[in-house]
Amino acid sequence: MNQSYSRPNRRRFLMGSSAGLAALMAVRQGRCLASVPMIEEREIEADLVIIGGGLGGCAAALAALRAGKSVVMTEETDWIGGQLTSQAVPPDEHPWIEQFGRNASYADLRKRTRTYYQRNYPLTAEARDARYLNPGNGRVSALCAEPRAYLSALTDVLAPFASAGRLTVLLDHVPIAAETEGDRVRSVTVRDAKSGDDRTLIAPYILDATELGDLLELARVEHVVGFEAASQTGDRSSPEQAEPMNQQALTVCFLMEYRPEEDHTIDEPADYAFWRDFVPDLTPPWSGPLLSLSYSNPQTLEPRSVPFDPTSNAFGWWTYRRVIDPGNFRPGPFDGSTGVTCVNWPQNDYLLGPLVGVSTDEARQHIERAKDLNRSLLYWLQTECPRPDGGTGWPGLRLRPDLMGTEDGMAKAPYIRESRRIAAEFTILERHVGTEARRAAEGNEVAEATFPDSVGVGSYRIDLHPSTGGDNYIDVSSLPFEIPLGALIPIRVENLLPACKNLGTTHVTNGCYRLHPVEWAIGEAAGALAAFCLDRALSPRTVRNTPARLREFQSYLTAQGVDIHWPRARPR
């Protein structure tokens, strides 16, 4: 039987007040909410509450807002955008991202990011005329850019809804409690990290877009942490026993510039000797000291050396995630610089402990130690890193805290590869998306991973970084895949939806469902689903399990520019 969702009594509904728009304007200027008029309401009601302002949260908000709903979105830092902004990670994407295999809204976000440079930067004629401008000419993506460029694009796309009074953004707010009634989450209490004030957020639908799936624990939603046992999932890459504390490494990214005529060598960090001699204890063994130009090849696990030369445009660590290439700009702003790169390398993956399943204090200590590792890596690059000319060290390397919006030059938030994951109506297993697992079951000819309830698409290898439990890379070929609606529906709770990498995957399949465009697609599907259900007085479970309603929802998504299936023919 369909469950009816009535609009709550809006006793103190903050109808996207000026603080919502002011917060977004503050985001655009890189300021935090504390510098704008504060919201006084202690209880805020809306159609949709989204906890977490990363890519999935922003996509969910956009989908619901375009459907005419009111939204309150919170964010732990003072920048929305998650992976692209506060975590400073240029997007990991599949090779067809410019043409297909992504939502129209994600394509628009990429276009807006390029427009930011075309409007504001002195591009060369060649760069200005480029069909697909890549500001950093980084090799990981066709769009490697500074965090503030992505931040501007996200702010611009959401700003009209804040001006219209339908979007409220609470920056620097963390969830601290959730109130439940039976199988429903009634409200979430968030705390202002600046003032200490608490606010209760109430909505018929609550979306968890936090980086670690925090609401799943607060609201006692059934969920999974870490590695499941092979007997539970059948995943070929799983261990015999479940290992909940075995979670992928986190990384605190930083931006680094090279100015060859200058010396920016920092003081030797206090724990430099520890990190210089540190060899990760992994199975199979790591290639040697973490601070080196060698690492374990993710696919073969054999030692692999990658060059580092900030004066060269050749393949290497410098160009891998470079976000500013002076060659794209006319003389002036970047004179004396060879560019800026994002350091998100094997050398600064942090393996000494997880963030989930430990106390808040211990998690904070792990993040601080990850920053210590960064400082040691920078010092090693400045003083001991082998140079092609036979010398050592690049003293012209320096941090760019101004581009990161932080005092210490580190990202505002750690790059999280693995979250708590809901126990879902449908769990995506390795046999669904892994190339070899599919071949073992079906033979040599295998096509993309399809699901009858698809609500989006993605494509990326199953890419698991070394883990806190001592695993080296688990890197497995995967097929282009779809996002099943069943993976967005908890097994019990009716009105909480996952809106990022906390959907129903396993530890293994999380490795291909965690990337930027996929997180965006998950968020957009979750926000659209909530709006669809509100308009029709349906439950998400009913939508999935009623064929006519499922087809209606899928048609609704495609009308919004969501790709839910891969083209039959794709370039190879």
Evaluate whether residue 285 is within a structural domain.
Answer: yes
pLDDT of residue 3: 38
- Per-residue pLDDT tens digits for 49-88: 999 999 999 999 999 999 999 999 999 999 999 999 999 9
Bridge partner residues of 324 (DSSP): 340
DSSP calls for 364-427: HHHHHHHHHHHHHHHHHHHHT-B-TTS-B--TTEEE-HHHHTSSSSB-SS-B-----EE-BSS-
The answer to whether the peptide bond before residue 284 is cis (omega within 30 degrees of 0) is yes
pLDDT tens for 173-227 read 999 999 999 999 999 999 999 999 999 999 999 999 999 999 999 999 999 999 9
Last residue of a domain, one of 404, 432, 447: 404
Percentage of the chain modeled with pLDDT above 90: 90
My answer on whether 469 and 434 are in the same domain is: yes
Provide the pLDDT for residue 18: 37
pLDDT of residue 24: 52
pLDDT band for 27, please (50, 70, 90 cuts): very low
C-alpha 144/C-alpha 408 separation (Å) is: 22
Domain-embedded: residue 398 = yes
Q: Do 346 and 481 share a structural domain?
A: no
Report residue 171 as tokens: 């920056």
Looking at the fold, whether 486 and 527 belong to one and the same domain comes out as: yes
| Contact residues for 97 (Cβ-Cβ < 8 A; gap 6+) | 110, 142, 517
Whether pLDDT at 17 is above 60 = no
Burial of residue 228 (CB within 10 Å: 0-12, 13-18, 19+) is buried
Q: Does some domain include residue 271?
A: yes
Q: Is the dihedral of CA 194, 197, 203, 205 positive or negative?
A: positive
Residues 389 and 482 both lie in one domain: no
Which residue among 404, 433, 460 closes a domain?
A: 404
Residue 28, pLDDT > 60, answer no
**In a shared domain, residues 233 and 282:** no
Quote the tokens at residue 434. Answer: 């892994």
| pLDDT score of 19 | 44
Check residue 41 and give its pLDDT. Answer: 74
CA distance 366 to 485: 35
For residue 285 the two structure tokens come to: 């063994």
Q: Report whether 174 contacts 78 (CB < 8 A).
A: no
Of 404, 431, 454, the residue that ends a domain is 404
The whole-number pLDDT of residue 445 equals 81
In a domain, 415, yes or no: no
- Cβ–Cβ under 8 Å, residues 249 and 465: yes
Q: HSE-up of 518 (CA within 13 Å, CB side)?
A: 27
Host domain of residue 536: 223-244+421-559
- The answer to the question of residue 135 being in a domain is no
pLDDT in tens, 150-164: 999 999 999 999 999
Q: Is the pLDDT of residue 20 over 70?
A: no
Q: State the Cα–Cα distance between residues 169 and 34, nearest whole angstrom.
A: 12
pLDDT of 444: 82
Q: Does 16 score more than 60 pLDDT? A: no
Distance CA 216, CA 179 (A): 12
Residue 36 in this model has a pLDDT that exceeds 90: no
Q: Are residues 382 and 497 in the same domain?
A: no
* Same domain assignment for residues 183 and 324: no
524 and 439 housed in the same domain: yes
Mean pLDDT of the chain, nearest integer? 93
- Residue 193 belongs to domain with CATH number: 3.50.50.60
d(CA 458, CA 96): 10
- CA distance readout (Å), 400 to 29, 436, 551: 17, 43, 49
Task: Assess whether pLDDT exceeds 50 at residue 364.
Answer: yes
Is the pLDDT confidence value at 464 over 50? yes
Q: Is 6 domain-assigned?
A: no
In a domain, residue 263? The reply is yes
- Whether 340 and 391 share a structural domain: yes
For residues 542 and 462, membership in a common domain is answered with yes
Interval 381-410: pLDDT, tens:
999 999 999 999 999 999 999 999 999 999
CA-only gyration radius of the chain, Å:
23
Is 503 in contact with 526 (CB distance < 8 Å)? no
pLDDT of residue 441: 86
pLDDT in tens, 103-138: 999 999 999 999 999 999 999 999 999 999 999 999
For the segment 493-541, what is each residue's pLDDT rounded down to a tens digit? 999 999 999 999 999 999 999 999 999 999 999 999 999 999 999 999 9
Tokens for 478, please give them: 């995967």
Same domain, residue pair 228 and 258 = no
Top pLDDT among 445 and 407 is at: 407
Which amino acid, residue 87?
Q
- pLDDT value for 338: 98
Q: Calculate the alpha carbon distances from 368 to 85, 170, 353 in Å.
A: 19, 25, 12
| Token pair for 194 | 């600046």
Edge to edge, what strands does the sheet with 496-498 contain? 167-171, 71-75, 48-51, 205-208, 496-498
Regarding whether 155 and 197 lie in a shared domain, the answer is yes
Q: How many domains does the chain have?
A: 3
In a domain, 491, yes or no: yes
- Tell me the pLDDT tens digit for each residue of 465-494: 999 999 999 999 999 999 999 999 999 999
Q: What are phi and psi of 348, to 5 degrees?
A: -120, 25
